[in-house]
Structure 1
Amino acid sequence: MILSPFEWTIAKRYMLPGKGERFIALVAGISLVAVMLGVWALVIVMSVMNGFRAELFDKIVGLNGHAIIQAYGGRLEDWQDVLKEVRATPGVTRASPLIEQPLLASFNGRVEAILVRGNTASDIERLRDKVQAGNLDELKVGGDNVAIGSQLAQNLGARVGDVITVINPQGRSTPFGTVPRQIAYRVAAIFEIGVYDYDSAFVVMPIPNAQTLLLTGDTIGMIEVTTNDPDHVDRILAPLQRKLAGRAIINDWKTINASLFEALAVERVVMFVVLSIIVLVAVFNILSSLIMLVRAKTRDIAILRTMGATRRSLLKVFVTTGFCIGALGTVSGLALGLVSLYFRQPIVHGVERMTGQNLWDPSIRFLTELPSRPDPVEIAVICIMALVFSFLATLYPAFKAASTDPVQVLRYE
């Protein structure tokens, strides 16, 4: 919609009402701020929701792969042959043996439930950039060194160099019953994955050491699989599932974390709908301010009509006036949202200091920091939605102004 110099001059005049129309200017300002806050809230919430899902997916899948092949009974006897079959499956990019077993750990009188994790040397190496203290190179086959999660270290009060005791209930049999197996391990490294449940439970060691601790011989519990397309992992591993029928079961990341990711998807849609209503309510302020402006400018509109202004010109003037308010609010909200996302962690810490409340408890939120991942397509949809709502809100007042009859208005002037 291209405006002539005359139309643009009138539109700018109406966007900045005079001294006698300060109330109209106030309502227009409130409209702009309302649109800005609606767009700001949408950008922040949707980016945080996207970041939460993406970070959670990256951390869970980065540690456990896209699928787990788990043996019936917890022990995979011929795992070397199965591993070869898995690696030969089209679409599989990585497969590695894995042992996971829930046990107990104690240190200085404190006891915590743990998840002993036996990994290959290459899988242990993947934790290197997560290490907060210590050295992963000390985790050797046959040694007594382990790496533990940061939250577990905090719960036990253990540091690098301390010796913790891992308790395996399946110990040796005696005339008085089974005596739990207790083995001392030195903490060689402390790591932080960023997922509270993992950081508070994982004790990592080489696979042979885990086999010795659990008395499982040369067997493993599962095989971790990564594919080239996580969204179609079930289709990629379908042939393998048929081959392993009766020996093992395949659970992909969708099945293992189904409830969590489905809840996130539902919450994301609900939050978008609810916050969109805020933008919708905000544009009603634009509607009301334009209606007030049309009523206040009825005499001016009639004079413009008698001077030759067409209905189309007046329609364009008032649509432009209202649309500019919505556009300025949208741009301001987008800028404010991006700035808030950039400084999100300091903002969270500042609010925590002011309120004295922990706003981001890792034990509840899974992640240790507030995540964010702005989606350009989603942000574009939010901006377009706000602009469309603003445009629609201008139509009624604009048509009302364009339909003004100058004869009726100026009859008694």
Structure 2
Amino acid sequence: MSGLLFTPHERMLARRYLRSRRSERFVSLISWSSGIGIAIGVMTLIVVLSVMNGAAAEIRDKILGFSSHIDIQGPGDTLEGWQQWLTTVEALPDVKRAAPYIQGQVLASYGSRAFGALLKGVDVSRSDDIARHITHGRFVSSEGSPFQVVMGKTLVRKLGLQLGDQVRLMSPSGGVSPSGAAPRMRAFELVGIFDSGFHEYDIGVILTPIPAIQRLNRMGDAVTGIEVFLHDREVAARVAAEAQAALPPGAWIIDWQRRNRAFFNALKTERVAMGVILSLIIMVAVFNMVASLVMVVMERRKEIAILKTIGATRSSVMRVVMLMGAMLSGIGTLAGAVMGLLLAWKLDVLLAWIETMTGVQFMSGEVYFIDHIPSKIDPVSVGVIVVVSLIMGVMATLYPAWRAASVPPAEALRYE
């Protein structure tokens, strides 16, 4: 393409003008520093956007690891006659599995320690996905006493529990005693510890069989609702609409995208804001390139005048200067893209090595949603960054090229 736009002597002049003579090394240094600035800007933008894309994908996967794609509840606090609803939902296309559940807030205590948590009753026969997260012990069983729980590793550590210990759970859904409303309390055996990889679940979720909560809260056969898991979670909105049409009036249905819309919109807004802010690095480098090319033009006034005297046209002079800028921005963009892709590709390995060497943890699961810095390269984002950087670099050459084409030969050679 460049061979069609630029003649051989124009390419030769552009390369020569970018090389410094002894008296022009400062100008050449400024010129190449602008290319280095573009490389740094492109590299930083690719790495940061890759980290934010990876964080969004990681958090989404962790949230959906223990959460349903679609949540169905009845018109009241509990759902009676849920078996028919379950059969209707399971018959819908794209549904992988559906299961009843019960959930409510409890206070978990052991010894002198106590923490609030979400107690969730699950259908043991329909919870294979959750059972795969068990790291110690076993998953709750439908055999024997139903008063058994599995808890997240962080909550177990904070309570100081060991497998086989009895943890007391106090539910506010109590009955009425002669002295008034009283919470219900029951001891549960810790039979397993799970690691979801998501701090909010590891510290705040306790799992138990459905009959345990039904007996604790004296709910009979009622449940809180039905959770639905799909083969493709991206079609959750459509399946939710189908379920709404198939179930009786009064059914309350929400898919995971609506349930977490505010959170994911915040992540998207933050990603866009970071992209705009970091683009300023490239803009600063581009303005630096404008200044450096103008300085090159001023230093080469005599040579430009001689070129015009021997027949070089205005367009030819402009193409030489534009090619200089295109070479600077092209080399900078290419180098930045390569370094950014390599860094984003091995970022987790590099950070793990730095954490091991320094003993400093960059991301704590107790502060952030995840305990590591993920990275996911988006080819579309990388392509946009590269194209925009090249366009900005070419546009930055227009004013210096116009200044070079406007050099009057007689004025420049008057005192030569």
Partner of 1:132: 135
Deviations 1:61-105 (A, max 9, x none): 332222210223332111110011112234434322222121111
How far apart, in 1, do the equivalents of 2:186 and 2:252 lie?
31
Alignment partner of 1:89 out of 81, 87, 92: 92
Partner of 2:278: 275
C-alpha displacement of 1:176: 4.5
Instruction: Out of 334-343 and 393-402, give the one that drifted further.
Output: 334-343
C-alpha displacement of 1:250: 0.8
- Cα distance, 1:228–1:346 mapped onto 2, change above 3 Å: closer
CA RMSD of aligned residues (A): 2.7
Alignment partner of 2:42 out of 34, 39, 42: 39
C-alpha displacement of 1:27: 0.9
1:121 aligns to 2:124 (yes or no): yes
TM-score normalised to structure 2 length: 0.89
- Cα distance, 1:302–1:156 mapped onto 2, change above 3 Å: same
SS of 2:193's equivalent?
strand
Partner of 1:367: 370
Deviations 1:12-58 (A, max 9, x none): 22222122111112212321221122112211222222222222222
How far apart, in 2, do the equivalents of 1:408 and 1:174 lie?
104
How far apart, in 1, do the equivalents of 2:362 and 2:46 lie?
20
Instruction: Out of 168-177 and 353-362, give the one that drifted further.
Output: 353-362
Partner of 2:332: 329
Query: Mind listing any 5+ residue stretches in structure 2 that lack a counterpart?
Result: none
Counterpart AA for 2:308: R
TM-score normalised to structure 1 length: 0.89
Tell me if the contact between 1:142 and 1:208 (Cα under 8 Å) persists in the aligned partners.
Answer: no
Alignment partner of 2:257 out of 254, 257, 270: 254
C-alpha displacement of 1:349: 6.1
Instruction: Out of 375-384 and 44-53, give the one that drifted further.
Output: 44-53
Alignment partner of 1:72 out of 59, 69, 75: 75
1:196-345 → structure 2 map (5 Å cutoff): 196-227=199-230, 230-231=233-234, 233-244=236-247, 246-345=249-348
SS of 2:402's equivalent?
helix
C-alpha displacement of 1:370: 1.7
C-alpha displacement of 1:336: 2.6
Counterpart AA for 1:275: L
How far apart, in 2, do the equivalents of 1:343 and 1:123 lie?
38
Alignment partner of 2:403 out of 391, 400, 404: 400
- Cα distance, 1:231–1:343 mapped onto 2, change above 3 Å: closer
C-alpha displacement of 1:405: 3.3
Tell me if the contact between 2:109 and 2:168 (Cα under 8 Å) persists in the aligned partners.
Answer: yes
SS of 1:132's equivalent?
strand
Partner of 2:385: 382
* Identity value in percent: 37
Q: How many residues align?
A: 412
